[in-house]
Amino acid sequence: MLNPMQSTHWQALPGCRLFQTTDLAFARDEISRVMQPHTLRFQGIGASPSSHMNFLRLSGMGIGTIAFGRADIDVPPLQDYHLVIFCLTGSAIVHSGNIDLTIDPRSGIVCSPDLALRASFSADCEQFLLRIDRLRLAKFNGARRARLSPRIDLCSPRSQPLLMTLRSLAADPATVQLIRDNARVAEDYEQLLLRLLFSAQEEDPMGLSDTIRPRSLRRAIEFIHDHIAEDITLAKIAAVADVPERTLQDAFQHFEDATPMGYLRDLRLKQARTQLMADRGDRSVTEIAVGLGINHLGRFAKTYAERFGECPSQTLRRRC
C-alpha cells in the first residue's frame, strides 16, 4: 500500500523551519512557543538525536512537522486549540481524553481543547500537525453543532481530497510564500482545509444523533446553569447527571464540542460579558466575576480580551 503521507510530498515545509538541534531541552522550549509548555523525555541512551520543527502559520490555523526521535510527551489540557496529528514516517501511541490510538501514515487523531495529551513516538517518527484555534473552528461552524471525530482514516476515500490539498500546498514553495504574504489567501486556504477535514470524518462517529440529546447531558447543563456561581467540579456534574465521568465527557464532546469544565468556563465568560454590558456602574469587574464563580481574575481578563477583543474594564466603562 502506498504511504498517503509520504514525506517527499512535503518538501516545501523545510522552508518554514523553526529549528534543528540535538538539544532536547531546546527543542521542547521551541515547540512550546508554537504549541504550549509540555514535558518531553528522550527514551534513548547517549546523545540526543537531531530534532527539527517546520511550521507555517496561516491565520487561525498552523501546519507543521516535528521529529525528535524516540521520545515521550506529556501536554496539559490543550489551550483553546484543536490538534490534528498524522505521521509522515514511523508511528506513535497517543492518549487524549478517553481515546488510546496508534497513529501512523494510515491513521491520525484529533485532540480537542481542554483535554490533556500523552504520546510515545517511534525513533523514525516525523509527525504532521494541523493546529486549529478553537475560535477559528467555531467561526467556521457557526450555529451548527458539528464536531470533529477523534479518529481519521487516511486511507479512506473521504480523506483523499484533504491529503491532496495538503500535499499540494506543502510541496510548492511559491504557495507557501503566498500564504505568508497574503492574509486573504491564508484565510481562503483555512476555509478549504476545514471543509475538507470535516468531509474526511465519518458521519455521526459516536453513533449519536445531534438532535436528540441524552437526558443525562440535559441534567448536567441545567445543573451548570443553575449553579454557575458555585464551586462546581466534574465529579459533581457527573453525580447530578447520574453517569460516569467518562460518559459525560463523551456526551459533552459530541454535542457541545467541549468538556464539561470547558462548557462551564465558556458559560461564565458569556455571562460576564452580558452582565458587564448591562451594568450601570454600581459593580466592579471583580464583583461581577466573583459573582459568577470566577476566582482566577488575571486568567479571566486575558481570556476575555482574547475572546471579545477588549478588556472587561473597557466593556464596563462603555456602559457607565
Q: How many whole angstroms separate alpha carbon 153 and alpha carbon 61?
A: 21
Residues 6 or more apart from 320 whose CB is under 8 A from it? 280, 281
Contact between 66 and 33 (Cβ < 8 Å) = no
Which tops the pLDDT comparison, 251 or 2?
251
Q: Which pLDDT does position 240 carry in this prediction?
A: 92
pLDDT tens by residue, 254-291: 777 788 998 999 899 888 888 887 766 678 899 999 99
Domains of the chain are 7-200 (2.60.120.10), 215-319 (1.10.10.60)
Residues 195-225, buried b or exposed e (16+ Cβ, 10 A)? ebbbebbeeeeeeeeeeebbebbebbbebbe
Q: In angstroms, rounded to a whole number, what is the distance separating the alpha carbons of residues 115 and 112?
A: 6
Alpha-carbon distance 68 to 124, whole Å?
A: 9
Strands 92-96 and 99-103: antiparallel
Predicted pLDDT at 72: 92
Phi, psi (deg, nearest 5) at residue 276: -65, -40
Q: Is the dihedral of CA 291, 294, 297, 302 positive or negative?
A: negative
Residue 7 predicted with pLDDT over 90: no
- Mean pLDDT (the chain) is 84
The C-alpha cell 521529529 sits at 67
- Predicted model pTM: 0.66
- 201 versus 163: the higher-pLDDT residue is 163
Residue 320 has pLDDT above 50, yes or no: no
Q: How far, rounded to the nearest angstrom, does the alpha carbon of residue 247 sit from its chain's CA centroid? A: 21
SS (H, E, C) 147-184: CCCCEEECCCHHHHHHHHHHHHHHCCHHHHHHHHHCHH
For residue range 73-102, what is the model confidence (pLDDT) as tens digits? 999 988 889 999 999 999 999 998 778 889
Q: What is the pLDDT of residue 100?
A: 84
Q: Is the distance from CB of 101 to CB of 107 less than 8 angstroms?
A: yes
